[in-house]
Amino acid sequence: MKDSILLTFLYRTLPGRALLKLLVQPGVSRMAGRFLSSGASARIVPYYIKKHHIDMSGVEIPAGGFPSFNAFFTRKRKLERCDAAAGRLISPCDGLLTSVEIRDGTVLRIKHTEFSLTDLLADAGLAAAFRDGLALIFRLTPEHYHRYCHAADGRVLRHRKISGELHCVRPVALRTLPVFVRNSREYQLVRTEDFGLMVQMEVGALLVGKIRNRSVIPGENRVRAGAEKGYFEFGGSTIILLLQKDAVRLRGSLYAKKNEQGEIPVRQGECVAITDDTA
């Protein structure tokens, strides 16, 4: 991916960095969000679909078309498949999957940024609960569907939001600042029925990068695999599942789907991991 002239200016020059400090202010982010939700932004939609070769089959298109870019970006479609069953963990989204075994000292590399599990969760005690476990990282690109679902049945024990400075995730930015760890994050700790404790985390990026999750009451709300959890408004996006030691193993058939970057294309609702006693 080539760096644009604008990004090079913002991250590599003194005037650009001064401008960047203004751009990442909450007020600017809100203005960008208002524009993307306005009728004027609807003009961007046809160009965006063409540029990113977005498959619109099965998408719910309002009469008269999408009223704004955000209405398009958060478009709904019918869930094409849901492989949820006892001992089967499903993908919460369309995306590119990477699996990482969690060991002492492991750093997770997400969008070219490295950080520890403690830094990611902002909770050393919770991070320790996933030592020797498995991290499943789902990277969403512009052409992917940006609604997501719960990955497993269970009860929500904790819900946490971690505010962050929203920065671009393009490579030139990543070489200059620890971008990802400054992004907003939101996660639920779930006591699943088949896999023990699990964290499902969403990460927002770019200037807007909004995470819109359905409200839950920790300790009371049960969640079901395949049920919609929320959606991302415009911005780079990642979803992370953390599983405990020996809770699951990646489906063997997925390895054959790896691309040149070692990522596995998956679809929302597709079974991505199973317990050892799953047939």
Looking at residue 168, what DSSP letter applies?
Answer: -
Annotated active-site residue 83? The verdict is: no
Nearest to 169 by CA among 100, 113, 212: 113
Sign of CA dihedral 119, 123, 128, 129: negative
**Could you write out the DSSP letters of every residue in 227-272?**
SEEEEE-SS-EEEEEEE-TTS-EE-GGGGGG--TTS-EEE-TT-EE
Nearest to 207 by CA among 47, 59, 36, 53: 36
> Which residue out of 37, 68, 94, 123 is catalytically annotated?
94
> Which residue out of 29, 91, 184, 237 is catalytically annotated?
237
- The one-letter amino acid at 138: F
User: What distance lies between CA 85 and its chain's CA centroid?
Assistant: 23
- Judge residue 146's burial from the number of C-beta atoms within 10 Å of its C-beta, 0-12 exposed, 13-18 middle, 19 or more buried: buried
CA distances from 27 to 9, 70, 143, 203 (A): 22, 18, 28, 20
List the structure tokens of 186. 């939101």
Annotated active-site residue 237? The verdict is: yes
Residues with a known catalytic role: 94, 237
